[in-house]
Amino acid sequence: MTTFNTRTIAVTIDAPPASVAADLSNPLSHPEWATEFFAGPAAPTGVEGEVRVAVPMMGGAAKMKVDADPERGLVDLYLAPESAPYGAPLPVRLVPNGDGVDVLWTLAQQPGVPDEAFAAGIASMERELQALKRRHEQRER
């Protein structure tokens, strides 16, 4: 059996869980707050639920889809180069916290990814989740 090094990053957002869940369930909205990972807006591909995105660390053009159950706080993101099949999901879980929500995002270190690159990805994801937090908390004011 094979396992990977993983890291779960969490952020607490003082905003309605349903609002955050709806945003994370919409693949078109991710490039609006995840600006370090995506290089520009998402566009529908013509395949239901799938969008085309620019992801420099994946070599440019990629496809993305989201499988979500917002009411249960389950969001699975799938990313792949345009010509490749989707692999394992990036799991995101939303846990109610008072009137807000904790967002837990798990990243796995893929084979061949150096420790330094994985650490840089974790740091970037932490900044991206802070951007998601600002996005929702500013809406509530």
Asked if the model's pLDDT at residue 140 lies above 80, the reply is no
Asked if the model's pLDDT at residue 141 lies above 80, the reply is no
Contact 78, 60 (CB under 8 A): no
CATH topology assigned to domain 6-139: Alpha-D-Glucose-1,6-Bisphosphate; Chain A, domain 4 (3.30.530)
Q: pLDDT digits over 78-113, tens only?
A: 999 998 999 999 999 999 999 999 999 999 998 888
Query: Under 8 Å CB-to-CB from 134, ≥6 apart: which residues?
Result: none
Alpha carbon 1 to its chain's center: 27
Asked if the model's pLDDT at residue 44 lies above 70, the reply is yes
Query: Alpha-carbon distance 29 to 60, whole Å?
Result: 18
Please, what's the b/e burial string for 19-45 (b: 16 or more CB within 10 A of its CB; e: otherwise)?
A: ebbebbbebebbbebbeebbeeebeee
**What pLDDT was estimated at residue 110?**
87
| 3-class DSSP assignment, residue 117 | helix
**What pLDDT was estimated at residue 10?**
97
39-57 average pLDDT score: 93
Hunting for tokens 């993983």 — which residue is that?
Answer: 6
**Domain boundaries in the chain?**
6-139
Q: pLDDT digits over 6-37, tens only?
A: 999 999 999 999 999 999 999 999 999 999 99
Asked if the model's pLDDT at residue 58 lies above 90, the reply is no
